[in-house]
């Protein structure tokens, strides 16, 4: 069984997120999503989520492409997660191109194209108007 892992906040879940999860799942058989915790988002990303962690987790668990959701609590855990969960491929949006090449020591790294016309930042900006 080929295991894939991806990371993200997945706040205000939209079709761009679904496209990313679908394409990540196409890389293998079992998709693990490391979901940024509220504390990590605030402390390290300076983000306040609209939906709290447990609600974002429930949304992700309802998506057919997602097999397991785990918490992302810090930037450094990626290598540890890849080893712990026997990951074959790390997949993430191409806006992170090159940022996770250090994981190639442990697994394949794939940068997936983003859905260009949608983002959570765009949604939040539009809602503020």
Q: Could you list the active site residues?
A: 45, 47
Neighbouring C-beta atoms of residue 94, cutoff 10 Å: 12
User: How far is it, in rounded angstroms, from Cα 68 to Cα 55?
Assistant: 15
Residue 65: name the closest of 21, 8, 20, 33 by CA.
Answer: 21
Token pair recorded at residue 43: 């402390």
């Amino acid at each position: 069984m080929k295991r894939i892992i991806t990371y993200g906040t997945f706040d205000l879940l939209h079709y761009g997120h679904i496209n990313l999860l679908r394409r990540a799942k196409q890389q293998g058989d079992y998709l693990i999503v490391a979901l940024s915790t509220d504390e990590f988002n605030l402390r390290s990303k300076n983000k306040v989520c609209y939906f709290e962690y447990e609600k974002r987790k429930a949304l992700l668990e309802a998506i057919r492409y997602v097999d397991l959701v785990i918490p992302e609590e810090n930037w450094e855990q990626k290598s540890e997660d890849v080893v712990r969960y026997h990951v074959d491929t790390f997949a993430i949006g191409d806006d992170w191109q090159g940022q996770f090449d250090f994981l190639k020591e442990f697994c394949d790294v794939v940068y997936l194209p983003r859905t260009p016309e949608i983002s959570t930042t765009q949604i939040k900006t539009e809602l503020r108007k």
